[in-house]
Amino acid sequence: MKRYYIETYGCQMNVADSELVSGLMEQSGYVPAESEYEADAIFLNTCAIREHAEEKIHSRLGTLRKLKEGRPETIIGLLGCMAQHVKDDILEHKSYVDFVLGPDSYRRLPALLRRQKETANSIVDTRLSRFEVYENLYPSRNEGINAWVSIMRGCDKFCTFCIVPFTRGRERSRIMASIVEEVEQAVAQGFVEITLLGQNVNSYRSEGSRFPELLHAVSEVPAVERIRFTSPHPQDVDDEMLFVMRDRPNICNSVHLPLQAGSDRILNRMNRTYTKSEFISLAERIRHILPGCGLSTDIIAGFPGETEEEFAQTLEVMERVNFDSAFTFKYSPRPGTKAEEYSNHISEEVKQGRLQQLIELQARHTLERNQNEIGKTVKVLVEKESKKSSADWAGRTDNNKWVIFPKGAAQIRDLTDVRIVAAKGVSLFGELAQIGEMPHAVA
């Protein structure tokens, strides 16, 4: 029996793609390996979003080269967003890599595995497709609570800092009926939470249907306890989407709303299509229609030409919106993007200093927002054992906050009432509500 092993880097889209590749490998007669040391085929599903992500892959390839020296028959494949960038280097210098496949080429994997036996050269296919959405391919999902369901691929927004439109190609959506069918199958397999995925998940558009209709249709699939989606673009958030979220109880009360920067000049140079005040109004609108909604964001420090005053506007938007959480990054120049060619790149030292300010401000906001939850009884989906203690469960609230609480009689997959008693760091701490409400009965 042949074994395969996939290591996944980058965003959830890559996690979902790795599950597709797993499905294809299993169709080709492979079974999953516990580690790379037991695998006949090893794949790295790569990310190119920042330079650091690419460096990690280069160092991993070095280790795999050594592994292959000891076991020359091992197949090594490089998949995903770095494929385009590295293909020339692989062809010229890294013949131990057998496959380089871009994100739209996975369907060909079984045929290429057969061909690989007959050729000594690396097989490279990094063509991007206008149509491929991997319809009728079934992902081999990791067991768990949450099933990733990819609904659209690619991005047409072309933010000037971002490599994704080049690595993933043009936007295209799956048809609604097939998404709903995939959700039904995931539920039949025991998944209780569905996360809809796309680089711009809410620009979904298929046969006249838009994202709000799709959300509604998915929320009507019986036994779907929770629906999440990522990553939306602020430009495509409309009232209709918010109304569906408000009216359907199983759609989680949380929105990821990437800000990127606070100054209008920088937003314009980023090609983000909204202004500072439009962004703030949108955040307020979301919290007005969806009270208690969790808001998370992405922010970049030190975009080319960003002055101290402009950076201060990012902090100001953060103060106005009070995000529940934020992913913060130093700007990383990406070859081939427009921003890479801009003048006035910011020094590493200044970027680091700004990043530090973002992290500190967000830590304060996260704590403040979490402290608001203390005393409330909230529904938590029990997801896994706490990393710190085998006596505790960890699960998320509807508005996407992690809660740690003593296990009691609760089981994994339960949607259970938890009373929040404390907030520390980025987590909440709670107790099962039945116990919390009847302290004397227990004594």
Instruction: Output the CA–CA distances (angstroms, integers) from residue 429 to 325, 425, 432, in the order listed.
Output: 17, 10, 10
Which residue number places its CB atom closest to ligand F3S?
10
Q: In the complex, what is the shortest distance from the CB of residue 168 to ligand F3S, in angstroms, rounded to a whole number?
A: 5
Residue 87 binds ligand SAH (CB under 6 A): no
- State phi, psi for 211 to the nearest 5 degrees: -60, -45
**Closer by beta carbon to ligand SAH, 169 or else 430:** 169
> Using CA atoms, how far apart are residues 106 and 134, in angstroms rounded to an integer?
9
Part in contact with ligand SAH (CB under 6 A); list of ranges 106-114, 313-321, 330-338, 354-362: 330-338
Tallying the residues shown for the chain, one arrives at 443
Q: Could you tell me which residues are beta bridge partners of residue 197?
A: 150, 230
Q: Dihedral sign for Cα 259, 260, 266, 272, please.
A: negative
Q: Which is nearer to ligand SF4, 165 or 395 (CB)?
A: 165
Site string for ligand F3S, 286-325 (x = CB under 6 A): ----------------------------------------
Q: Give the shortest CB-196-to-ligand SF4 separation in angstroms.
A: 16
Task: Please state, in angstroms and rounded to a whole number, the distance separating the CA atoms of residues 65 and 437.
Answer: 59
Site for ligand F3S contains 201 (CB under 6 A): no
DSSP string, 107-143: GGHHHHHHHHTT-SSPEEE----SS---TT----PPS
Helix, strand, coil percentages (3-state) for the chain, rounded to 5, are: 40, 25, 35
87 or 233, CB closer to ligand SF4?
Answer: 233
Q: Which does 50 bind (CB under 5 to 8 A by kind): ligand SF4, ligand SAH, ligand F3S, none?
A: ligand SAH
* Residue 351, token pair as written in the block: 């970027």
What span, in angstroms and rounded, lies between the C-alpha atoms of 266 and 302? 10
In the complex, what is the shortest distance from the CB of residue 165 to ligand SF4, in angstroms, rounded to a whole number? 5
Task: With contacts defined by CB under 6 A, name the span among 30-38, 161-169, 183-191, 230-238 that binds ligand F3S.
Answer: 161-169
**235 contributes a contact to ligand SAH by CB under 6 A:** no
Phi first, then psi: give them for residue 132, nearest 5 degrees. Answer: -60, 120
The token pair at 292 is 């208690």
**Residue 238 near residue 203, CB atoms below 8 Å:** no
* 231 lies in the binding site for ligand F3S (CB under 6 A): no
Indicate which single residue of 298, 385, 392, 414 sits in contact with ligand SAH (rule: CB under 6 A). 298
State the first-to-last Cα distance of the chain, in angstroms, to the nearest integer.
57
346 near 331, Cβ under 8 Å?
Answer: yes
d(C-alpha 404, C-alpha 406), whole Å: 7
* Interacting residue with ligand SAH among 18, 105, 200, 254 (CB under 6 A): 200
Task: Name the binder of 334 from ligand SF4, ligand F3S, ligand SAH, none, CB < 5-8 A by kind.
Answer: ligand SAH
Transcribe 187-217 into DSSP letters. HHTT--EEEEE-TTGGG-EETTEEHHHHHHH
Q: Which does 158 bind (CB under 5 to 8 A by kind): ligand SAH, ligand SF4, ligand F3S, none?
A: ligand SF4
Q: Which is nearer to ligand SF4, 37 or 158 (CB)?
A: 158
Given a contact cutoff of 8 angstroms between Cβ atoms, the answer to whether 163 and 332 are in contact is no
Q: Are 162 and 122 in contact (CB under 8 A)?
A: no
391 three-state secondary structure: coil
The single residue among 105, 167, 206, 260 that binds ligand SAH, judged by CB under 6 A, is 260
Q: Can residue 49 be called a binding residue for ligand F3S (CB under 6 A)? A: yes
Minimum CB distance to ligand SF4 smaller for 171 or for 383: 171
**Options 49, 237, 282, 295; binder of ligand SAH; rule CB under 6 A:** 49
Residue 334 binds ligand SAH (CB under 6 A) = yes
Min dist CB 220 to ligand SAH, Å, is 27
81 lines the binding site for ligand F3S (CB under 6 A): yes
> Among ligand SF4, ligand SAH, ligand F3S, none, what binds residue 165 when CB lies within 5 to 8 Å by partner kind?
ligand SF4
Kind and range of the H or E element at 19? helix 12-27
Dihedral sign for Cα atoms in the order 255, 252, 403, 284: positive
Residue 172 binds ligand F3S (CB under 6 A)? no
Is 78 among the residues that bind ligand F3S (CB under 6 A)?
no
Q: Give the footprint of ligand SF4 on this chain (CB under 6 A).
A: 155, 157-159, 162, 164-165, 199-200, 233
Q: Based on CB atoms, which residue is closest to ligand SAH, 274 or 429?
A: 274
Contact 397, 416 (CB under 8 A): no
Measured from the CB atom, the residue of 228 and 419 that comes closer to ligand SAH is 228
Q: Taking the complex as a whole, how short is the minimal distance between the CB of residue 162 and ligand SF4, in angstroms?
A: 3
Angle at alpha carbon of residue 114, lines to 112 and 120, rounded to 5°: 80
Q: Which residue sits closest to ligand SAH, CB atoms considered?
A: 298
Residues making contact with ligand F3S (CB under 6 A): 10-11, 13-14, 47-49, 80-81, 163-164, 167-168, 199
